[in-house]
């Protein structure tokens, strides 16, 4: 190869130093065209709902993943999630994308930090090799594997003859048999199930859905196990046992074969096997009242069998190791010198050190993964990428600073820069000015949210953004000022001897009738204090960022209950029944069943979603769309953004006070740009929390607890949020906010600062008082950062 050819080839390769996007139209993007430099840190900014995630996650990262999946055989692709090609004309220069998003980890009761990060798998192997006494394979240390054994005859066909052989097998697992590896046992309060002064026919059973007129009534009254006219307190021991505990039994009632089961097995099957959060509100209230979860007395909450706990290394069993703070566990592993398992120790050491480096050293491996905040879950997912030898990879982050104290953000910035300096492309969706400031390249989307966004307002350097005059540029250097005067509390909510997680017998009085901000570094005990220690019955509404469970058929109108008054108004105006105006009920287009699109499954290739030809994506039957209310049909109403619908239902012939009240609350929390029929699955974490807040604002509760409400909020919207919090407090409510954003701290009437560090270095109240006192004292990390922020 001649010198000229070699240089031409190298120049051709070097020309691919940009990721080119042309004509991106995913969600609300309007033919967006951008060029992103490779091996640089690019930050995407813009108001919530402006199209940042649509560009980064739904377009660039989605196409990269789809192209990688296509390199596998059709057989393997059949087992992988199928991805459709994003709506975009050209995507050029893509590299392998690794997505680190803020989706909460599965809230499966069996999932812990250790099982979610491979650390437990390595610990189990370590104990199966070094633990004394030796009790078996790594499975013997797993709380998800039950011990089972069996024996019997098996039939084997060999060479045309059939022979029977006796076989036996046994599996030694580490699961505690009493609690089945969950660490908790349930206890049911019988007084919440029935009123013993009444008979069944008088409605003694108080479980939701168990009325005597319905299906269960038919089974219980027709079972013949007890007299339905006798008060329960007069039942014999056998009758009471049959009512409460009888195992599933086949019975015949009025000639129909049915299965009878006692109340308690029935409740365990229908309620306790489900996620409490996913239940309807009235059922959740019943479960919280009737069922108490207590630590398993056999395993002490460790989830492990006695045999698994008896095997130790240097006096420590696997339950002790998982309960240690990860930073302490890393030190313990460092002290193990055993050449026979050296590679395993090195790998485990690296994983544990990564936890510490990323600022999660305060967690323990036995912490249930469902209790991690969005930011903690995202940083846990980052662990496997730290120290990776891969280069020229695209890392995609979704607000990596969520849940981080200003002190911890500097550490996160260093990690992002380290990934870039190894030759990787780092794309970050972010609102915090501290992270925007370290960008090599900035893409600002907007100018508004929803249909008012989806265009590139600015592309260039951070300095250029400051001078650009865009909404983000104007607010980049915003600094809140301390309030001149603070409100006077109207009462107190006392918390005594709080010891949840890492709290050290904390005594604190939370003032009521004011805006209280609870702050402190990540892992200092804020959530444990507010969510875990406020006494039940204090009338507290807690609003977190957990996912809203709903299919693509769920939307803001169905979630908030807004659709009910709208359906009734349409039905009344047209003299028909309300069910016609539901795309999930009688009004649904028969061709697409009210989905608006028809899905064609193409096995290992991406399924194709085509707009339904009959209803043209409107989801309703043509006959339903002839009914009008205020000059609009139901499909047009659901396509309206909240702000337009608020006007529509607020006055004129379409005036509907019940609908207007809900829309007013949605606009108040800054969701005026959402359309009423937008699927819930497309909402960001911050939008979900604000949707929950809007729904809860109708409740007659006196105390609101918000968990980082600034998540996903643009700098300009934080001001709007502070106005909303002020309105809540001025209307007589008490608002407690867990928050790291300095603008919210500066706006508080009272600050409770926890620390001084994370994990066992935290769990104490290090400051209580007004923001001005905190800044003046500068005695804590929060005080120092708040003083720097307000320019004091």
Residues 431-470: pLDDT tens digits? 999 999 999 999 999 998 888 899 999 999 999 999 999 9
The pLDDT tens digits for 129-149 are 999 999 999 999 999 999 999
> What is the pLDDT at residue 680?
85
Tokens of 676: 């009423």
- Length of the chain, in residues: 792
- Yes or no: say if 428 and 417 are a contact pair by the CB < 8 Å rule: no
Confidence of residue 257 (pLDDT cuts 50, 70, 90): confident
Torsion, CA 436, CA 437, CA 439, CA 444, rounded to 10: 40
Calculate the average pLDDT of the chain. 89
* Residue 2: predicted pLDDT: 55
Integer Cα distance of 263 and 205 in angstroms? 9
328: which strand partners?
none
End-to-end CA distance of the chain: 66
Q: How far is CA 79 from CA 65, 82, 601, in A?
A: 15, 9, 14
CA 657 to CA 663: how far, in whole Å? 10
Q: Report the distance separating Cα 738 and Cα 449, nearest Å.
A: 26
Structure tokens at 353: 């050190």
Query: How many angstroms separate the CA atoms of 88 and 60, rounded?
Result: 10
The predicted structure's pLDDT at residue 587: 92
Query: For 219-233, 565-579, 763-777, which range has the lowest pLDDT when averaged over its residues?
Result: 219-233
Q: What is the pLDDT of residue 104?
A: 67
Band the pLDDT of 603: cuts 50, 70, 90: low
Query: Does 538 score more than 80 pLDDT?
Result: no
What is the rounded radius of gyration, in angstroms, for the C-alpha atoms of the chain? 30
Contacts of 397 (CB under 8 A, 6+ apart): 100, 378, 416, 426, 427, 428, 429, 430
Confidence of residue 376 (pLDDT cuts 50, 70, 90): confident
Rounded to the nearest 5 percent, the helix, strand and coil shares of the chain are 40, 20, 40
Band the pLDDT of 384: cuts 50, 70, 90: confident
E runs forming strands in 41-193? 41-45, 90-92, 97-100, 148-158, 161-171, 184-188
Q: Which helix (H) or strand (E) holds 668?
A: helix 657-668
- What pLDDT is stored for residue 533 in this prediction? 82
Digit-coded pLDDT (tens) for 616-674: 999 999 999 999 999 999 999 999 999 999 999 998 889 999 999 999 999 988 888 88
pLDDT, tens only, 45-58:
998 889 999 999 99
Query: How confident is the model over 570-574, as a mean pLDDT?
Result: 95
Give the C-alpha distances (Å, rounded to integers) separating 232 from 193, 200, 237, 244, 265: 12, 8, 11, 11, 18
pLDDT in tens, 20-39: 999 999 989 999 999 999 99
The span from the CA of 467 to the CA of 417, in Å, is 24
| pLDDT tens-place string over residues 192-210 | 888 889 998 888 888 888 8
Nearest to 332 by CA among 340, 321, 341, 347: 321
Residue 326 has pLDDT above 80, yes or no: yes
CB 578 within 8 A of CB 567: yes
Band (700; pLDDT cuts 50, 70, 90): confident
* Alpha-carbon span 479 to 760, nearest angstrom: 33
Element (H or E) spanning 409, and its range? Answer: helix 406-421
* pLDDT higher than threshold 70 for residue 385: yes
Q: Which residues of 732-751 are buried (b: 16+ CB within 10 A; e: fewer)?
A: ebbbbbbbbbbbbbbbbbbb
Instruction: Using a pLDDT cut of 90, give the percent of the chain over it.
Output: 54
């Amino acid at each position: 190869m001649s010198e000229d050819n070699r240089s031409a080839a190298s120049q051709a390769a070097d020309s691919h130093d940009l990721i080119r996007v042309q004509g991106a139209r995913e969600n609300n993007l309007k033919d967006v065209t951008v060029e992103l430099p490779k091996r640089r840190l690019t930050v995407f900014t813009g108001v919530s709902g402006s199209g940042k995630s649509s560009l980064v996650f739904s377009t660039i990262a989605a196409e990269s993943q789809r192209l990688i999946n296509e390199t596998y055989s059709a057989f393997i692709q059949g087992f992988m999630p199928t991805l459709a090609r994003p709506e975009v004309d050209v995507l050029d220069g893509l590299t392998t994308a690794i997505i680190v998003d803020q989706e909460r980890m599965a809230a499966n009761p069996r999932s812990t930090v250790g099982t979610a990060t491979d650390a437990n798998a390595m610990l189990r192997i370590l104990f199966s090799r070094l633990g004394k006494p030796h009790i078996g394979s790594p499975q013997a240390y797993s709380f998800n594997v039950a011990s089972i054994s069996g024996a019997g005859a098996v039939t084997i066909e060999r060479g045309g003859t059939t022979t029977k052989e006796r076989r036996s097998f046994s599996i030694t697992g580490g699961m505690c048999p009493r609690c089945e590896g969950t660490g908790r046992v349930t206890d049911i309060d019988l007084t919440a199930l029935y009123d013993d002064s009444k008979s069944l026919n008088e409605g003694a059973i108080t479980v939701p859905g168990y009325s005597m007129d319905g299906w269960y009534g038919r089974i219980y009254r027709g079972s013949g196990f007890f007299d339905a006219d006798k008060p329960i307190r007069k039942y014999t021991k056998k009758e009471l046992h049959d009512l409460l505990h009888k195992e599933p039994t086949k019975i015949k009632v009025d000639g129909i074969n049915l299965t009878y089961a006692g109340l308690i097995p029935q409740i365990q099957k229908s309620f306790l096997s489900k996620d409490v959060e996913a239940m309807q509100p009235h059922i959740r209230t019943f479960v919280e009242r009737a069922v108490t979860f207590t630590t398993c007395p056999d395993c002490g909450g460790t989830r492990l069998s006695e045999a698994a706990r008896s095997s130790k290394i240097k006096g420590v069993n696997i339950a002790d190791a998982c309960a240690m703070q990860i930073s302490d566990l890393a030190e313990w592993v460092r002290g193990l010198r055993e050449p026979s398992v050296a590679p395993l120790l090195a790998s485990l050491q690296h994983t544990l050190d990564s936890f510490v480096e990323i600022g999660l050293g305060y967690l323990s491996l036995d912490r249930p993964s469902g209790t991690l905040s969005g930011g903690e879950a995202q940083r846990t997912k980052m662990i496997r990428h730290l120290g990776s030898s891969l280069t020229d990879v695209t890392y995609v982050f979704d607000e990596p600073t969520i849940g981080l104290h200003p002190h911890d953000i500097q550490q996160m910035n260093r990690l992002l820069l380290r990934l870039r300096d190894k030759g990787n492309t780092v794309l970050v969706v972010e609102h915090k000015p501290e992270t925007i400031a370290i960008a090599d390249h900035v893409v600002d989307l907007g100018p508004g949210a929803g249909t008012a966004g989806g265009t590139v307002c600015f592309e260039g350097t951070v300095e250029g953004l400051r001078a650009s005059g865009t909404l983000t540029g104007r607010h980049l250097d915003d600094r809140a000022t301390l309030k001149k005067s603070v409100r006077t509390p109207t009462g107190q909510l006392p918390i005594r001897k709080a010891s949840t997680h890492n709290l050290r017998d904390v005594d604190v009085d939370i003032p009521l009738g004011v805006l209280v901000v609870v702050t402190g570094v990540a892992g200092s005990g804020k959530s444990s204090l507010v969510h875990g220690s406020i006494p039940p019955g204090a009338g507290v509404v807690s609003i977190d960022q957990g996912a809203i469970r709903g299919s693509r058929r769920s939307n803001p109108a169905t979630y908030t209950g807004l659709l009910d008054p709208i359906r009734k108004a349409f039905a009344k105006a047209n003299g028909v029944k309300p069910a016609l105006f539901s795309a999930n009920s009688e009004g649904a287009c028969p061709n697409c069943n009210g989905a608006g699109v028809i899905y064609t499954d193409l096995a290992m290739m991406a399924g194709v979603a085509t707009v339904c030809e009959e209803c043209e994506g409107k989801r309703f039957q043509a006959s339903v769309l002839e009914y009008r209310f205020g000059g609009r049909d139901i499909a047009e109403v659901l396509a309206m953004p909240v702000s337009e619908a608020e006007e529509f239902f607020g006055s004129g012939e379409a005036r509907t006070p019940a609908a207007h009240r809900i829309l007013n609350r949605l606009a108040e929390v800054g969701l005026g740009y959402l359309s009423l029929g937008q699927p819930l699955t497309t909402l960001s974490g911050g939008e979900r929390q604000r949707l929950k807040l809007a729904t809860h604002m109708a409740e007659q509760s006196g105390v609101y607890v918000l968990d980082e409400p600034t998540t996903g909020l643009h700098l300009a919207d934080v001001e709007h949020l502070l106005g909303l919090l002020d309105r809540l407090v001025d209307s007589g409510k008490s608002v407690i906010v867990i928050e790291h954003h300095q603008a919210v701290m500066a706006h508080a009437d009272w600050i409770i600062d926890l620390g001084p560090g994370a994990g066992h270095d935290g769990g104490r109240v290090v400051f209580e008082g007004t923001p001005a006192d905190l800044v003046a004292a500068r005695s804590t990390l929060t005080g120092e950062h708040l003083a720097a922020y307000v320019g004091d």
